[in-house]
Structure 1
Amino acid sequence: MWREIEPDERLELTIHGFRVVAYVFGSGPETLFCLNGGPGLPCDYLREAHSCLAERGFRVVAFDQLGTGASERPDDARLWTIERYVAETEAVRQALGLGPVHLLGHSWGGWLAIDYALTHPEAVKSLILADTVADMPHLVSELERLRAALGPETVAMMQAHEAAGTYDHPEYLAAITLLNYRHVCRLPEWPAPVRRSLADWNMGPYMTMQGPNEFLYTGNLKTWNRIPDLPNISAPVLIVVGEHDELTPACALRMKNALPEGARVNVVRNASHMPFYENPEGYYPPLLSFLESVTG
């Protein structure tokens, strides 16, 4: 269903003194506001996967978070906090005059969406938590399980490089590459929007907030846990997770069990962390069904 579409509007905003670039598709009465993963990735990969929903009557909005894509890239690690990104998201929503939105957060964007929904509940009509988690320590235990499938010798090798800080060693990178093809995107050739976002990755926010790769968390979010606060989310929620996702179905279940009754879960078969590219037939119909149910 996805395809690359030129935005109807490309807007340069001044947000808290910095240039932030937003993209708008369509002009429908209901807004799907997309928060992409990373941290440090341009929004291309998520924007291109959801701009097609403009043809279903939605106004689809995405933006390059500060430090990414066409937005300004200050070199100040103090800026890379989830609290500042929550404030930025709200400032973008207000600057664009979006009103209450259907908020879709993917991966790191899901952590941001959770904190945003708890901080600004009046701004969220519904919440789509795609390939994300609400409990980082639990995720770390799940990642250890995924890493263990590589075998004890490979795990010992990875741990030795992590202790030494030699994340760029070829044998360590080979193990991470294998994990990426198992749990990030299982397609033999990754789609152009994904490759484009990855090629322009700003590792400053990523290293500060997350760590050196998708399977090692050392940044300022490594103890982040919002499970105790999820009962306070009153908006309807759809949780999406790939069958082989690095942010695993167990993480999705943990969120569902903590949310108020009625939260939906879509486990996308034969997909990992990019289900909108890996299995569009398993991703889009449940998403559209959910959005139709909350826009009624």
Structure 2
Amino acid sequence: MTVITEDGVRLWAARSGVPGSTDPLVLCHGGPGLWDMFEDVAAMFEDRTTVIRWDQRGCGRSERCDGPWTTERFVADLDAVRRHFGLDRTALLGHSWGAQLALSYTLAHPERVSTLVYVSGNGIGPVSDWHAAYKANLASRLDGQEPPEGEREQVVLQWSADFADRERALERARRMADPWFEINYACNSALTTESRRAWGTPELRAACRDLDVPVLIVDGAEDIRPRSAVDSLAEALPRVRRTVLPGTGHVPWAESPDAFREAVTGALTAGP
């Protein structure tokens, strides 16, 4: 299915699950510059609601374009997805960078979001608060493994560090890379730079303190991105619950599927 943004960019999207359900679930993938890898997540909730997946602009199955690569533009694209499917209000689930995008959308359009599920994000503090520890944890988990040849295999090796279960880490990372699309490095660089500049401001903390939308934060206890970074968000939000899954890394639905589904289902059922 194709969604056309107001500036004419074609976005790939897919809808599954229960047709016509109240407050359907829209998924926001990570990156920036990657693509939707939420097939397993969609399958977890298709028996109770409509689930919508999409590839962000210039990424995955969406049209290649020259941007613009800004959070404001991506928030507008997400709203184009909402309008395309005729939704007055949605539940949002975002993972990693997608959690940041979903939060940004919710802050911009709180009346259009019934529930925000914030998965494996990095909070609202400065990127400098956690990035050095992340790089150190990444190096430690990879334990000096030599990068293989080929971009896909190099990325698979890096993604394998996101899993706490080291015996199955490469297998799970390879599944994330199937299908494989070209990474949009221009998108990644621009949005990463924007985050370093814009995140951690008093204005952002104040906006989160005023957010009257229920939020579920889901963390893997063994994510190599320090979970303490998320404290900044949890402390600011007035209506927040937090679930920390033990023995779990950055992709909690893969390593703790039952606990992840239970936590998210609880949030969706509770509603506003």
Partner of 1:40: 33
> C-alpha displacement at 1:151, in angstroms?
8.5
Q: TM-score, normalised by structure 1?
A: 0.76
* CA RMSD, 1 decimal: 2.9
Alignment match of 2:71 (pick from 82, 87, 92): 82
Deviations 1:68-111 (A, max 9, x none): 1221011x25x111110011111110121011111111111111
1:204 matches 2:193: no
Q: Say how many residue pairs are matched.
A: 255
Q: Tell me if structure 2 keeps the 8 A contact 1:276–1:284.
A: yes
Q: What is the deviation of 1:147?
A: 3.5
Which runs of 4 or more aligned residues in structure 1 lie more than 6 Å from their structure 2 counterparts after TM superposition? 174-179
Number of the residue aligned with 2:216: 238
2:81 paired residue number: 92
**What displacement does 1:48 show?**
3.2
SS of structure 1 residue aligned to 2:94: strand
Counterpart code for 1:116? Y
Q: Are the aligned partners of 2:164 and 2:247 in contact in 1 as well (CA < 8 Å)?
A: no
Give matches, 1:139-178, under 5 Å: 139-148=127-136
Q: Choose from 55, 59, 79 the match for 2:50.
A: 59
SS at match of 1:265: strand
Using a 3 Å threshold, how does the CA distance of structure 1 residues 178 and 59 change in structure 2: closer, same or farther?
closer
Deviation at 1:197, TM superposition (A): 5.7
Secondary structure of residue in 2 paired with 1:234:
coil
Q: Where does structure 1 lack aligned partners over 5 or more consecutive residues?
A: 1-10, 158-167, 211-218
Give the partner amino acid of 1:207: S
Contact 2:129–2:229 (CA under 8 A) maintained in structure 1: no
| Offset at residue 193 of structure 1 (A) | 4.8
Q: 1:269 aligns with which of 238, 241, 246?
A: 246
| Contact kept? 2:134, 2:226, Cα under 8 Å | no
Q: CA deviation at 1:169?
A: 11
When residues 181 and 70 of structure 1 are mapped into structure 2, their CA distance, relative to the original with a 3 A threshold, is closer
Stretches of structure 2 that go unaligned for 5 or more consecutive residues are none
After superposition, the Cα gap between the structure-2 partners of 1:150 and 1:263, relative to the gap in structure 1 and judged at 3 Å, is closer
Spell out, residue by residue over 1:20-45, the C-alpha distance to the aligned partner (whole angstroms, 9 max, x if none).
Answer: 121001213330011111111111x1
CA distance in 1, matches of 2:227, 2:263: 17
**Is the Cα–Cα contact under 8 Å of residues 143 and 246 in structure 1 kept in the other structure?**
no
For 2:43 and 2:138, how far apart are their aligned partners in 1?
37
* Partners of 2:3 and 2:223 in 1: CA distance: 34
Q: Secondary structure at the match of 1:264?
A: strand
| Contact map agreement 1:249 1:267 (CA 8 A) in 2 | no
* Mapping of residues 119-130 of structure 1, within 5 Å: 119-130=108-119
Q: 1:30 aligns with which of 23, 36, 43?
A: 23
